[in-house]
Amino acid sequence: MAHVVATGAGKAMMERRADPTHDYILQLTGKERPRVLFLGTATGDDTAYIVSFYTTYDSDKCAPHHLPLFHRPVDDLATFVRGFDVIHVGGGNTANMLDVWKRQGLDVILRDMWEDPGSNVVFTGGSAGGICWFEGGTTDSYGPTLQVLPEGLGFLHGSFCPHYDAEDQRRPLFHASLLSGELATGYAVGNLQSVHFERSGDAVNFVTAISPVEDPLALRVEAIDGKIVETELPVKILQGTAPIVKGPSA
């Protein structure tokens, strides 16, 4: 069973070293010491971000690795990437990241992993690392004025809007794009919230939203009869390894 855990913030979440969201992701693999691959493409393989990853996903809890694509160290990309239990995508410029992935053929490799019926990989990340798994979303890839990105990987149907509680432009742009039909019905989360989906066979289902804090912001957002409807999602409030369920049962 493969999973997607899409989070609102990328680097800001990575810098929360003890955040139970990280443990939640690792536990989905069912392995004592999962192999975790960090893709920092969206920031041009920024060294500081990579160091932050290794500090948070340290060798005591997993086997961490990173894959730079601007100075690629491996020839057989498919064999290398398929050897990991978690694919963790950093935040940054979503559009540029997706373009680089396509040039390198990484988009096809990731899709094959996602669609493999025997796969138990967890695909995760925040901001750009959350948007990329959907069909589209809102992005700052093209400058300070937010725009719509309509060409994600499409592992998950619909759209994704991160930073819903942190950037003033996000909500109005998301609403406008849903009303115009530019984006399909989707999900919006605050910086610290995530949405979890799982694939079993050909079926992809929403599992729950998760949050390390009380009063989470996690919504399904859709346009109905020319109006925006925001519906609160069921949320697990994570406290160590004992989550508290809030809202409707997942």
**Cα–Cα dist 95/149, whole Å:** 7
Candidates 168, 122, 145; CA nearest to 23 is: 122
Burial (CB count within 10 angstroms: exposed 0-12, middle 13-18, buried 19+), residue 222: middle
Catalytic, out of 22, 66, 88, 163:
163
Structure tokens at 165: 């509680």
Structure tokens at 22: 């990280």
**SS3 at position 176:** helix
Structure tokens at 74: 């491996």
Catalytic, out of 3, 88, 127, 177:
127
Q: How many CA atoms lie within 13 A of 76 on its CB side?
A: 4
3 is catalytic: no
Q: Which residue has the tokens 């997993």?
A: 62
The pairing of beta strand 194-200 with beta strand 203-211? antiparallel
The 3 state secondary structure assigned to 212-231 is CCCCCCEEEEEEECCEEEEE
**Cα–Cα dist 107/112, whole Å:** 9
Alpha helices in the chain (DSSP H): 11-14, 20-27, 47-56, 77-81, 94-104, 106-115, 128-131, 170-180
**SS3 at position 6:** strand
**Cα–Cα dist 115/213, whole Å:** 33
127 is catalytic: yes
Q: Which residues are catalytic?
A: 127, 163
